[in-house]
A and B are shown apart, each in its own frame.
Chain A
């Protein structure tokens, strides 16, 4: 009752078993129009059929650019937004069937870390009351002394002094605030922590501290992470497996090393070639796959493969008519591309892409088609030394 590192799960499934099992999860936001009476004018297909499993004790990284639906997926999984379809099993329980109090009780076991550490902490609460709030909500507070001890132990675990308890969020630096956010999640001894862009609001030198801290805590407390981020380098560093999202769907999933060594989906290849590496030798030698155009609107996603409008490997058939399913190409490596084998074998070559103009307002693809000489160079990153 006093020591923090207690195995928390009431009925733990063995390591390696899926803790989270999501099937075909959908989150569609209605677009409402109308003055007096709301009329549903369409949907934003923020998450449109994502299936993935997170095994107990592992770190699953979900990567993608803004607007790909990764944040909504994380919130939909925790039911902070309501999914509109599919299933989300957490340790054998269907989260989507839980009601009110049941769901609230379940929240102890699945916690969240937010991107902006300042805005996610109530500015009017001291650190003491921020940390004890979760304990009180789940009747774990006990007496003043035991709770105080727990608070101090948790602060120590995230590398903050006990004197922090009296202070308020605005008195800390960004990195320290993120540590507080982590402590708030950690103190409930959850099984799963969903970390939504946990380091992207932090200074470079502080990012590393937080990444290392997350790593250490995982070992110490046997946590399972779902890390959501746009930074492929960060995700690859901390994750065991990585899923790549594009426009509401998962396009590729593989172990971290596999994904880097052998990216199969054209989008993953382009994404990887675009990540700058802090090394002039690598940068000078790199060949980039520059994607033409912008992300299409999730309110009006392209038919067929969502990526076909920007894909340098797009083929005449199937790509614009048939939405590719995720399929396992090599063990543990799933990809949603009709032509993945041919792309991998080099049978089909990348070509120029005619850009369809994209309206951020979601008015749909424009009529003007202009050929842009952007994606002529292909190839993955040069070999690492």
Chain B
């Protein structure tokens, strides 16, 4: 049974003087214990809003959230603020992109960790401190005893992200949501953090939702990948299938537009035309149609549905042919 089951999640933003804007438009996915799920897409695709909606962190005013977010048997969307606060941290941990602004700058790291331990696990004094030290050590922070007394600005970017992960792990959450956890970090530090997350999922059976724009990060980490575009999932598949044979023109285009370290040089990249601003509303057709090289008349007349062919979920009237899709796989 799935640990988290998100069904038909919809987030509509209302702003004075503008049309209501559906940032997340019927997103459905589920996560099993010990599984890593990727939510991938460019800016404005709704990936971060999805995570905030799951955590109940969207502002009450200005955003309408509908659908279902089942965490085991509870619908998180129906919980009161207090119940939800209790769940956050205890059952679900979250890691953000910018570790500096996610940590309180005037409180030592140690206190920020023990605070969570106290609130959710009732640990106090010496026990809390020992546990906090163990946590920092487990995320690879050297000399944890001394780090406990230090302030966030005294740590480097990579160490801060580790501290943030330690806080998220403090209550041994069963689900971890990581929103672009490595985007602000250098590649060598990114590699350290990704290795840490991988260890964590394998070692403790924590489920992980990885939100990122970086296809490379997803390829090595996620079991299943959801590609989002303009608030809707356009393709979902096992990572080997998704990267090996991307069928949605957007997924295919994304993969073609990233230069790869191991691809031959000198060839122009297969770029997608236009930008994420050039969308049409999903209600009038496929949002990606204006940028799509495969678009046909049907694409602007009907809204494509997310269809399951047993191997993947795909939302497209005219997908990339399997042989073309596969040929993109590692050029010889």
Contacts and interface: CB of A to CB of B under 8 A. Distances in A.
Complex: A in contact with B (CB within 8 Å): yes
A293 B217 CA distance: 21
A212 B240 CA distance: 28
B216 A208 contact: no
A204 B142 contact: no
Contact of A236 (B146, B259, B271, B277): B259
Interface stretch (B170-178, B181-189, B300-308): B181-189
A278 B154 contact: no
A95 interface: no
B110 to A, nearest CB: 16
Nearest to A354: B142
Interface string A278-311: 1111111010101101110000000000000000
Interface stretch (B85-93, B261-269, B310-318): B261-269
Interface stretch (A7-15, A143-151, A367-375): A367-375
Nearest to B189: A294
A358 interface: yes
Nearest to A237: B259
Contact of B271 (A176, A209, A231, A358): A209
Contacts of B140: 372, 374
Interface in B164-223: 186-192, 194-195, 213-220
Nearest to B187: A274
B332 interface: yes
A257 B191 CA distance: 23
B6 interface: no
B270 A381 contact: no
Interface in B241-266: 243-244, 253-263, 265
A129 interface: no
B42 A237 contact: no
B149 to A, nearest CB: 13
A366 B146 CA distance: 11
Nearest to B186: A65
B309 interface: no
Interface string B230-244: 000000000110011
Contacts of A277: 216, 219-220, 260-262
B260 A280 contact: no
B295 interface: no
A257 B264 CA distance: 9
A360 interface: yes
Contacts of B156: 294-295, 358, 360
A282 B265 contact: no
Interface residues of A, number: 63
B330 to A, nearest CB: 5
A66 interface: yes
A372 B275 CA distance: 44
A173 B275 contact: yes
A273 B216 CA distance: 12
Contacts of B298: none
A207 B216 CA distance: 15
Contact of A361 (B154, B188, B244, B271): B154
A51 to B, nearest CB: 24
B275 A236 contact: no
B220 A381 contact: no
A288 B271 CA distance: 29
Contacts of A359: 154
Given A275-B187, A294-B158, A368-B143, A208 B258 contact: yes
Contact of A357 (B142, B239, B255): B142
A113 B146 CA distance: 44
Given A277-B260, A278-B243, A384-B330, A208 B159 contact: no
Contacts of B70: none
B272 A208 contact: yes
Nearest to A238: B259
B58 interface: no
A175 interface: yes
A319 to B, nearest CB: 19
Contacts of B291: 205
B287 to A, nearest CB: 14
A206 B259 contact: no
A278 B216 contact: yes
Contacts of A293: 142
A223 interface: no
Contact of A65 (B187, B192, B277, B332): B187
B151 to A, nearest CB: 10
A221 interface: no
Contact of A288 (B189, B195, B253): B195
A215 B268 contact: yes
Given A233-B261, A274-B191, A278-B258, A173 B277 contact: yes
Interface in A212-261: 212, 215, 230-234, 236-238, 256-257, 260
Contact of B43 (A203, A291, A294): A203
Nearest to A383: B262
A280 B261 contact: no
Interface string B151-162: 001111111000
A206 B265 contact: no
B42 A232 contact: no
Most chain-B Cβ atoms within 10 A of its Cβ — which of A272, A277, A290? A277
A212 B268 contact: yes
A385 interface: yes
Given A357-B142, A368-B143, A276 B214 contact: yes
A271 interface: yes
A195 interface: no
18 contacts: A65-B189, A208-B259, A212-B271, A233-B261, A238-B259, A273-B191, A276-B187, A276-B217, A276-B219, A281-B244, A355-B142, A360-B154, A361-B154, A366-B143, A368-B143, A374-B140, A374-B192, A385-B330
Given A205-B275, A278-B218, A286-B220, 7 more contacts: A65-B189, A203-B43, A208-B271, A215-B268, A236-B265, A374-B140, A374-B192
Nearest 7 Cβ contacts at the A-B interface: A276-B216, A283-B220, A208-B257, A237-B259, A208-B271, A278-B215, A274-B191
